[in-house]
Amino acid sequence: MLPSSDKDGLKTKILSIHFLESLGLSYHFEKEIEESLKHAFEKIEDLIADENDLDTISAMFRVFRTYGLNMLSDVFKRFKGDDGKFKECLIEDVKGMLSFYEAVHFGTTTDHILDEVLSFTLNHLETLATGRRACPPHISKLIQNALHIPQHRNIQALVAREYISFYEHEEDRDDTLLKLAKLNFKFLQLHYFQELKTITMWWRELEHTSNFPPNFRERTVETWFAALMMYFEPQFSLGRIMSAKLYLVITFLDDACDTYGSVPEVESLVDCLERWDPDYMENLQGHMKTAFKFVMYLFKEYEEILRPQGRLFMMDKMIEEFKIIARTNLELVKWARGGHVPSFDEYIESGGAEIGTYATIACSIMGLGEIGRKEAFEWLISRPKLVHVSLLAKFKISLQK
């Protein structure tokens, strides 16, 4: 058994990691965090044996699962009464209820108790968010944010911004930690501004962008923001820039095929992309030729980045994923012009390919530098269920809009 002082010390470390995660600071201490959690998880039974604070247990659950350590969801059974329902007294612990709700989103298909947690916490948090129950304004705002998008599903940079605003109103805050979080976020902002400047200047200096018709979508900010969803840390700046450029090319290709290309013209473009040889673009005209040149230009940039790193093996994978986007664009054009109504499964698979789901994930892996290894590409090519589920989620969101 661990002495009480050791238990308290380990719990304090875990809760500190929770704050570092929420404030966007954890990437500065990755090695220390992993070592601390590995040590703590070996003593998990002792740590939680007599712990009955809802906020503490929920935060520990979230932290361990964030780092791939499977703290069992059965730990939440201690908050049930003799009737098998969660105790009503928990409702008075507002922070605990919010952390309880956030814990739900780390569940798997076997964590059945978390389905009960979701129903229980939603019923009570919604009354706090709407002002039907008294609650400090900064906590109410955090609840509203969580109900809109839980932290685990949100962009980490946005989580940090929201949590900093919350944390500075907490009476028991660590002022040194708060100051570090604010300085770190300001540093990230300056870093992001430079990335946006790089992408915007790159786009505007391209030879063909000045000749675009007015209906073409120029989404430099949106594409960068999409890249930020993959990773927010400053060391992956090049990866975000590479991904944003790919999104711009995909958007251009989509507009060219949907709006300005006949079926034969799109077929010619796809044929050229399949061959991946500039010598075959003689029959392309107008925006089809521009699209082909645009793709070749971007992938030449990728090659120049990867060659010095000794990671050219990634190019073949990226090219194959991009060819799938081209084929799918042609398929969708034929469906639209021919009045074909696809099945749900056809739409999910083709729609996911057309918006570049697989290609953009491949690009984000490529942008990880030495971390992005060949095994990651092989995993993606296997078309894992994780990616398929993300497509279903995107489809659900589009229906809601």
13-57 residue pLDDT tens = 999 999 999 999 999 999 999 999 999 999 999 999 999 999 999
Ranked by mean pLDDT, which of 70-84, 125-139, 259-273, 374-388 comes out on top? 70-84
The residue that leads in pLDDT, 121 or 278, is 121
Task: Tell me how far apart the alpha carbons of residues 202 and 224 are, in angstroms, rounded to a whole number.
Answer: 13
Global pTM value: 0.88
Could you give all domains of the chain from N- to C-terminal order, each with its CATH number? 4-173 (1.50.10.130), 186-400 (1.10.600.10)
pLDDT tens for 331-381 read 888 888 888 777 777 776 666 555 667 888 889 988 888 888 888 888 888
pLDDT of residue 397: 44
CA 221 to chain centre: 17
| Mean pLDDT computed over 289-307 | 92
pLDDT of residue 390: 64
The residue that leads in pLDDT, 81 or 347, is 81
pLDDT of residue 287: 86
- How far apart, in Å, are the Cα atoms of 85 and each of 54, 104, 113, 169, 319? 15, 16, 11, 33, 54
- The β-bridge partners of 80 are 86
Residue 399's pLDDT band, with cuts at 50, 70 and 90, is: very low
pLDDT tens for 241-265 read 999 999 999 988 888 888 888 899 9
End-to-end CA separation in angstroms for the chain: 54
Task: Tell me how far apart the alpha carbons of residues 281 and 110 are, in angstroms, rounded to a whole number.
Answer: 53
Query: Taking all residues of the chain, what is their mean pLDDT, rounded to a whole number?
Result: 88
- For residue 66, the 8-state DSSP code is H
Residue 130's pLDDT band, with cuts at 50, 70 and 90, is: confident
Task: Tell me how far apart the alpha carbons of residues 86 and 283 are, in angstroms, rounded to a whole number.
Answer: 69
Task: Tell me how far apart the alpha carbons of residues 292 and 272 are, in angstroms, rounded to a whole number.
Answer: 8
Residue 389's pLDDT band, with cuts at 50, 70 and 90, is: low
The residue that leads in pLDDT, 20 or 390, is 20
Task: Tell me how far apart the alpha carbons of residues 80 and 344 are, in angstroms, rounded to a whole number.
Answer: 41
Residue with tokens 């069992």: 72
